[in-house]
Structure 1
Amino acid sequence: MAIKLCVCSTKGGVGKTTLTANLGAYLAGLGQRVLLIDADVQPTLSSYYPLASISDKALTALITDGETGSTVSTIDLSSIELGESEGALDIVLSDDPDGALQNWILHTPDGRVRLRHILSEYDDIYDVVLLDTQGAVGPLQDAAVLSADLLLSPIPPEILSAREFARGTLGMIDRLKPMAALGAPVGPLRGLLYRMDRTADARTIARELRRETYEPSKGQITILETTVPATVAYRESATRQIPVHCWEPRRNGPTASGAETMRALTGELLPHLEG
């Protein structure tokens, strides 16, 4: 059965797409069959890596018609240099720039929960399904969140992002809890400190998040020990359309932080994959 992991936040610009793309490529490098789903009206993930083939259909057909195979495009693994991996890295592209899909989900009785049931059709095809979402509350984000077994939220260690995580994300979880009655319970949430620098302010905010978010969430939120450092390598690798764990060894040698970070993150989120 494929693991469905949704990268989400109620705040934009926190690093969801970069995290989704790099985690997906790292898992493919481990030999996993990975499907990325770009559930954002701004199709940044759709153009993050070069494509080997492009399907005629995309996210809209996946959700509205339950089209699975015909909506999957193929990422060019040779271009992003994953080496000898036998894994796969495919993607369902975003195709809803005007937000029509949002309205369809809103006005369809099972709109918010149907994606969860549709994704079960990938269980024999993929090992991991990663969903990237928009940085705003809405029906499309709800559908992606409710389709997942596990939620991952990047949190920059600055006060506005920390407050929005504690307020907005907890509010989202509480709002969607009733969907469990329709067979779509909200999965556990893991917070990931993202663009962590070495300032005292960042350390203070990280400490407060780890202390404050556990109690009000009644265990639904856990702040991971892994942190993503503030480094230019993520921007540089995105420019070159290759994963950070493939790019950094060229610059800094085999112990580069991108590979170490992805290894640590995978070990915490999906320990059985790292062995």
Structure 2
Amino acid sequence: MIVFTVVSTKGGVGKTTTTANLGALLADLGMRVLLVDADVQPSLSRYFPIAERAAFGLTELVKSGSLVPECISTLALPRAPRRNSELNPDGVLDIVLSDAPEGQLQDWLSPRIDRAVRIRTALGAPHVRETYDVVLIDTQGAVGHLQDAAVLAADTLISPVSPDILSAREFTTGTLELLERLEPSSVFGLTVPPMRAMIYKLENTADSRAISDAIREQFVPMRGRVSVLRTIVPHAVAYKRSATEQIPVHWLDPQRAGRTMHQLVWELIPSLEGSWALACEAFAASDEFEEARHE
């Protein structure tokens, strides 16, 4: 099992969109995926429809330090409209919903010595690793104990970066502060995971090389702890529309957004390179997609 935490010290940079769409695509590729909404503003919890809502969620996971079935909700996504072209039957997409009112969980974590490992401990249990292949954790933009616990639970951090130099500088400052704040965790045998920065919402792809190079220069002070993904997510209305319609972006725009999301998955999990989701083919015809949505 591999754990990705999508993190940024700045809000509104695409963390939730990235988490939701990566999770949906991985499930379409046959992976057993668990989403964890570790943001007190439950955007990920509202991204896709819920089929079966669990009695508990993030609060129980953190406070108990364990992940039990009563914390896991099931997401409801429509089936592919073409006959004999269903979504991968082996794929799973579950979620731990955010149910933590503003500040309460942070306050509960604050005095605890083990606050940094509460999520890590819960996800590290053998039954969790046997049930899921990938865990994706969405986080809040504000600095706090909950964000720190989500970071230290990960094998790899993913951080969307807006494609402009000012945002890159802000990202560098915030990331350095995060890394330096968590470095003392090494005393307890914890290490801060490597971070993969992702250029997100690029307006003009012709400028991608120059912007990527400029952003990479900002990472020199981080001593190799941060690298920039080759995959660049261009600005596209499909991402906003998919969130509005509560469907994965690779269903809505299989040729462009779908290809980008596949490339992102392949870069993050090289063993999946060359694998394509059946949903991209099944949802390619927009008329069939619209007919299916209104059945």
How far off its partner does 1:206 sit?
Answer: 2.6
8 Å Cα contact 1:162-1:205 kept in structure 2: no
Further displaced range: 145-154 or 168-177 = 168-177
Q: Quote the Cα distance in structure 2 between the aligned partners of 1:188 and 1:45.
A: 23
Rate the CA distance shift 1:266–1:71 in 2: closer, same or farther, 3 A.
same
The answer as to whether partners of 2:179 and 2:192 remain within 8 angstroms in 1 is yes
Q: Which sits farther off after the overlay, 13-22 or 93-102?
A: 93-102
The residue number in structure 1 matching 2:235 is 230
User: Which of 216, 221, 243 is the matching residue for 1:216?
Assistant: 221
> C-alpha separation between the residues in 2 aligned to 1:99 and 1:222?
32
3-state SS of 1:164 partner: helix
What is the alpha-carbon distance in structure 2 between the residues aligned to residue 110 and residue 67 of structure 1?
13
Quote the offset at 1:63 in angstroms. 0.6
Shift of 1:158: 2.2
Secondary structure, counterpart of 2:102 in structure 1: coil
Aligned equivalents of 2:113 and 2:168: distance in 1? 34
Q: Does 1:59 align with 2:58?
A: yes
| Partners of 2:198 and 2:207 in 1: CA distance | 17
- The answer to whether the 8 Å contact 1:77/1:89 transfers is no
Report sequence identity in percent: 52
Residue 178 of structure 1, CA deviation:
1.5
CA–CA distance in structure 2, aligned partners of residues 143 and 50 of structure 1: 27
For 2:216 and 2:246, the matched residues in 1 are separated by 33
Query: Which residue of 1 is the match for residue 92 of structure 2?
Result: 88
- Which residue identity is paired with 2:224? G
> 1:176 and 2:200 equivalent?
no
Contact 1:80 1:241 (8 Å CA) reproduced = no
| Aligned pairs, number | 267
Deviations 1:107-142 (A, max 9, x none): 111011221121112111100000000011111100
Shift of residue 80 of structure 1?
8.0
Is residue 241 of structure 1 aligned with residue 246 of structure 2? Answer: yes
Q: Structure 2, unaligned stretches of length 5 or more? A: 275-295
> Structure 1: where are the runs of 5+ without partners?
250-255
| Paired residue type of 1:66 | G
Report if the CA contact (8 A) 1:59-1:95 is conserved. yes
Match of 2:73 in 1: 73
1:55-92 CA-partner distances (Å, limit 9, x unpaired) = 01000000101341210000113368872341100000
Q: TM-score, normalised by structure 1?
A: 0.92
Counterpart of 1:271? 270
Query: How far apart, in 2, do the equivalents of 1:11 and 1:80 lie?
Result: 36
Q: CA deviation at 1:273?
A: 2.7
Could you say what secondary structure the match of 1:190 adopts? strand
Q: Which has the larger radius of gyration?
A: 2
Question: Which has the larger displacement, 197-206 or 141-150?
Answer: 197-206
Give 2:49's aligned residue.
50
* Deviation per residue, 1:136-155 (Å, 9 max, x gap): 11111001001000000000
Shift of 1:258: 1.2
| Kept after mapping to 2: 8 A contact 1:49/1:76 | yes
2:144 matches 1:138: yes
Length-normalised TM-score, structure 2: 0.86
- For residues 213-256 of structure 1, the C-alpha deviation after alignment (integer angstroms, 9 at most, x for no partner) is 1x21111100011000000000011111100001114xxxxxx2
Q: Which residue of 2 aligns with 1:31?
A: 30
Helix, strand or coil at the partner of 1:14: coil
- C-alpha distance in structure 1 between counterparts of 2:97 and 2:221, whole Å: 36
Q: In the aligned structure 1, how far is the partner of 2:79 from the partner of 2:39?
A: 24
